[in-house]
Amino acid sequence: MPSRQQPKRIYNISEFPSHYRIKGGVDDSDRQLLGGIYSGVTSSFEYGLGESTYIAAWTRMPRWSGVDSDPDWIVGLRNKRLIPSHFQFHFGHVGMTGVWGYPRNRLDKSLFRYVVAPLALEREPFDVCLVDDGG
């Protein structure tokens, strides 16, 4: 754990900045549920990055890693002020994508690399693994 990291913060939806709320299907009950989970764990891995990543950062997750299929989206998230430097971002190339980075060719072998490759780099298991189904 990085030495300059601040202690965990309990997620409170009323304190979570509204500009980190993404219009992608997450409602306040989802935010509260995930915020509660993330407040109580010390590590998380995410397939698909977005508001959940912001919630992890807001709770000051000590160990976080995630993968997404859109490199521009990854760069945009990684460069937000809220995101700590110890968060690990991975690009999962899945070929041509459509809306929300969803692969157009769902039979492409690269989908397996998206799932397996980022975790192959990890030495320890995660407390939570979040899978964004794109819906």
Nearest to 19 by CA among 49, 44, 51, 41: 51
Q: What are 42-56's pLDDT values in tens digits?
A: 999 999 899 999 999
Stated length of the chain: 135
What are 63's strand-pairing partners?
Answer: 43
pLDDT of residue 77 exceeding 80, the answer is: yes
Residue 120: alpha-carbon gap to chain centroid: 17
What are 97's strand-pairing partners?
Answer: 103
Q: Do the Cβ atoms of 49 and 29 come closer than 8 Å?
A: no
pTM for the full predicted model: 0.84
pLDDT of residue 73 exceeding 80, the answer is: yes
Looking at 2-11, 16-25, 113-122, which range is the least confident one? 2-11
- What does the domain layout of the chain look like in residue ranges? 18-129
For domain 18-129, the CATH class is alpha beta
| Token pair in block for residue 7 | 């202690």
